[in-house]
Structure 1
Amino acid sequence: MDDTSARIPIHQWAQDDQPREKLMNKGKEALSDAELIAILLRSGSISQSAVELGRSLLQKVDHNLIALSKLSIDDLMRHKGIGEAKALSIIAALELGMRRRLAEVPVRKTVSSSRDAFDLLYTSVADCLYEEFWVLLLNHANRRISVEQISEGGQAGTVVDPKKIFKMALEQNAAGIILCHNHPSGNLNPSTADRNLTDKIKNAGNFLDIKVLDHLIIADESYYSFADNGLM
């Protein structure tokens, strides 16, 4: 698409450049993020085409789709040209994508690596604006029993009660657990408090004969594994 196309209405663009026609003729992989958003928006504003509007929205979040998914309806509507209908379409589409990712994970998948655990835990904390603490409960075969939220707090941290963790583990007859919390800041490095809490929970698990196998810190689409880094 050349610069001239961006200055005229989309319906006057060459057919190969119109997002809907491009999707039909070339497939979804051929579209840019801005063009996909343009299809969701359906129309632009007085001063911008739908593609330009999608592009400006992406610029607001540094072209980070994860950051875009964390915006609320009000956040989106503060962007010039985005009304309630457009905001709802964007949020619904991003949520559907998140649910699709969750549906791809086998419910009874055997957890044999930190990546397996990440795949099961990611969707629980991916879009959280504040720090949350979760636990993955496993049976004797290291298969998922459930994923449970333990606490939620602010951007700087959350309070975790080990008694609540082991109460859930005992009630569901878990043989092992994997701890998880997110860092909204994007920093994956464990704090001293993270290390101390992990040691405290691991020691309690030894007493109750429930293995604490790992502790994941998740930020955006990356993670830090205590086990992989020799901290378990």
Structure 2
Amino acid sequence: MERLFTSVIIPAAGQGRRMNASINKQYLTLSGKPILAHTLDVFERCPLINEIILVVNKEEFRICQQQVLKLYHYKKVHLVEGGDTRQESVYQGLKAVNPRADIVMTHDGARPIIQESVIIESIYETMKHQATVVGVPAKNTIKVINVDGFVEHTPDRDYLVEIQTPQTFAFKLLREAHESARKEGIEGTDDAFLVERLGHPVKIVTGHYTNIKITTPEDLIIAESIIKRFDKNDKRGKKN
């Protein structure tokens, strides 16, 4: 396999107001260390990742350095100032990506239980398709409603996927997608949406239901339980 240069952008500048905490949720403790450190660990360890662009609020540079970067001695991480929205933060991260990069991933800082095997598969699939996103089959029945709150129709669940991260793209494709959106004033729900706007197909990489995004206090409890289960089975970082 030809050696690629792969970067990952981790936006961690969100305030996480639904967590009702006094600090950004990324720095809350999960199984003895900050949530963000768990996330960084997996990408730092993965041999196919060349650099990590960590995007945080300027006001949180100090806490990030003290509680995460210096404490855990990451070698791949470059700290970048974020924007007012996730999309703007990713764009700022894109500007900091090494020009040598072939592939760029984006991954939520608050998804600390991502599995290395999924990262690797995402990279391989992106080599073939130029654009991939991790997702899991929808468990619940989804209803499409109208503006008055009445059900319009029920889509076939076999064709519904709950999207996660990482989302992985050819560097030039993702950069073009973000620049096009900025020029037209488009705010997307995720990076894949911006690529879809260009008419480029996006391939699904099947992920795991354990790859949760920590948004509320209840999510923190669930994440603790998942990590304890993996640690008990001696599969931390090698989860299947």
| TM-score over 0.5 for the pair | no
Larger fraction in helix: 1
Structure (1 or 2) with the larger CA radius of gyration: 1
Larger fraction in strand: 2
Taking structure 2 as the reference length, what is the TM-score of the superposition? 0.22
Bigger relative CO (Cα 8 Å, ≥ 6 apart): 2
